[in-house]
Amino acid sequence: MYYCIVNPSARSGKGKEIWMKLEEKFKESGLEFRAVFTKGPGHATELARSITTKEVNKEELPFKIVVLGGDGTLNEVMNGIADFDNALVGYVPIGSSNDFARDLSYPKKVDDILHKIIEGKEVRALDLGKLTYNNMTKPMSRLHDETISNTRIFDVSSGIGFDAAVCEEALSSGTKNFFNKIGLGKLTYGSIAIRQLLGAERVPCDITVDDGEPIHFNRFIFIAAMIHHFEGGGFKFAPKADLTDGMFDLVYAGDMPSARMLLALPCSFIGHYFWIKGIGHHVAKKINIKTDVPMWVHTDGEVSVKSDDITWECLQGKLRLMT
């Protein structure tokens, strides 16, 4: 049995149309499947949890879950899977940024992706990240889930500060839909980033890497725990990230003027920005961040609340993919 979770709003409302084409392929293959359209924030998490907590015979395992949507829909599904050892995931990327698929050399044709899903075999296992809010404070994001857990799973990256503020604005403004409709969805994050950067708060922070000595900034701009190379619609923040080594590529920027960060942004798009003073990089399994003021936090671009104390942990090989 294949359980298909479809975001009909993906790609500015074309998700349903794309699913109808894929549905025919499933029917032609003779596979048993069920499809459900998501209805809003958090629904994909509920669906994935319902699927992976139902009682089935052992021969029916693993659960085969197909996700049709963008990075946000995939993230919601990750947060609903109750047992990753008994779940196989197939992903059809139709979002505006598609940072998860960008590293994986996915076929350009959807039919080729579906062929892999129909085979129903594990083709790779990738790392996941776990975010723990040691403290959660209001306000909440304009598009937050009804129920917010103190932990979240992420498959691409998680960040606090500037990059999370960009995600929060992109998710809740009309900018993203506008650029998607004219075929320039990748410009969403770049245009918002410049505005957010120029108005960024001056907030001190401490970064503790694998229980070592804290790294202090009088003014940090952003901190990101990267599993994949890209975030924010193609910014190559972690050019040497390994998706399977059980370690994050931690990247951060601080104690630098906004003008220098404006230089760093285009350089980060091609993955060549660590030479800029104020940009730092570590490889780590566990990271703690404490800030003087609560800041937005994102997981795979999804933003729920602000926090001034978070922990990231890398979970090696947790995600089993059919694609």
Q: What is the pLDDT of residue 43?
A: 94
Q: What is the pLDDT of residue 189?
A: 58
Q: What is the pLDDT of residue 179?
A: 45
Per the structure, the complete domain to which residue 208 belongs is given by 128-317
- Sequence-ordered list of residues with C-beta below 8 angstroms from that of 247, at least 6 positions apart, any chain: 127, 283, 284, 285, 314
Determine which of 93-97, 221-225, 267-271, 296-300 has the lowest per-residue pLDDT on average: 93-97
- Sequence-ordered list of residues with C-beta below 8 angstroms from that of 168, at least 6 positions apart, any chain: 141, 142, 296, 298, 303
* φ, ψ (nearest 5 deg) of residue 93: -80, 115
Q: Beta partners for 3?
A: 34, 65
Query: How many alpha carbons fall within 13 Å on the CB side of residue 173?
Result: 14
Quick check: 215 pLDDT over 60? yes
Asked if residue 105 and residue 207 are part of one domain, the reply reads no
* CA 232 – CA 189 distance, rounded (Å): 6
Token pair 């922990």 is found at: 311
Q: Are strands 87-93 and 151-154 parallel, antiparallel or unpaired?
A: unpaired
Asked if residue 267 and residue 132 are part of one domain, the reply reads yes
The H or E element spanning position 298 is strand 286-299
pLDDT digits (tens, 9 = 90+) for 273-292: 999 999 999 999 999 999 99
Asked if residue 266 and residue 201 are part of one domain, the reply reads yes
Q: How many domains does the chain have?
A: 2
Q: What is the pLDDT of residue 184?
A: 45
pTM over 0.85: yes
Asked if residue 282 and residue 209 are part of one domain, the reply reads yes
Greatest mean pLDDT among 87-96, 140-149, 161-170, 176-185 lies in 87-96
Q: What is the pLDDT of residue 51?
A: 95
Asked if residue 169 and residue 103 are part of one domain, the reply reads no
Closest to 266 (Cα-Cα) out of 256, 257, 276: 276
Last residue of a domain, one of 127, 162, 184: 127
% of the chain with per-residue pLDDT over 70? 88
What would the two tokens of residue 196 be?
A: 């957010």
Query: How many alpha carbons fall within 13 Å on the CB side of residue 252?
Result: 25
Asked if residue 289 and residue 150 are part of one domain, the reply reads yes
What would the two tokens of residue 295 be?
A: 């800041």
Quick check: 110 pLDDT over 50? yes
Asked if residue 202 and residue 91 are part of one domain, the reply reads no
Quick check: 127 pLDDT over 60? yes
**What CATH number has the domain bearing residue 265?**
2.60.200.40
pLDDT digits (tens, 9 = 90+) for 14-66: 788 888 888 888 898 888 999 999 998 889 999 999 999 988 888 888 999 99
Residues in the chain: 323
Quick check: 185 pLDDT over 60? no
% of the chain with per-residue pLDDT over 90? 56
Determine which of 191-200, 205-214, 229-238, 292-301 has the lowest per-residue pLDDT on average: 191-200
pLDDT digits (tens, 9 = 90+) for 141-172: 665 556 678 999 999 999 999 888 887 877 66
Asked if residue 210 and residue 61 are part of one domain, the reply reads no
Q: Are 227 and 314 in contact (CB under 8 A)?
A: yes
- List C-alpha distances in Å: 29 to 5, 35, 115, 272, 274: 19, 15, 10, 45, 48
- The band of 73, judged by pLDDT with boundaries at 50, 70 and 90, is very high
When the pLDDT of each residue in the chain is averaged and rounded to a whole number, the result is: 87
What would the two tokens of residue 74 be?
A: 């995939």
Q: Beta partners for 151?
A: 132
Asked if residue 34 and residue 165 are part of one domain, the reply reads no
Q: What is the pLDDT of residue 174?
A: 54
| Residues 91-104 as b or e (16 or more Cβ within 10 Å = b) | bbbbbbbbbbbbbb
Q: What is the pLDDT of residue 144?
A: 57
Query: How many alpha carbons fall within 13 Å on the CB side of residue 269?
Result: 11
Q: Are strands 286-299 and 157-161 parallel, antiparallel or unpaired?
A: antiparallel
Q: What is the pLDDT of residue 85?
A: 94
Asked if residue 196 and residue 78 are part of one domain, the reply reads no
Q: DSSP letter for 26, please.
A: H
Last residue of a domain, one of 127, 150, 177: 127
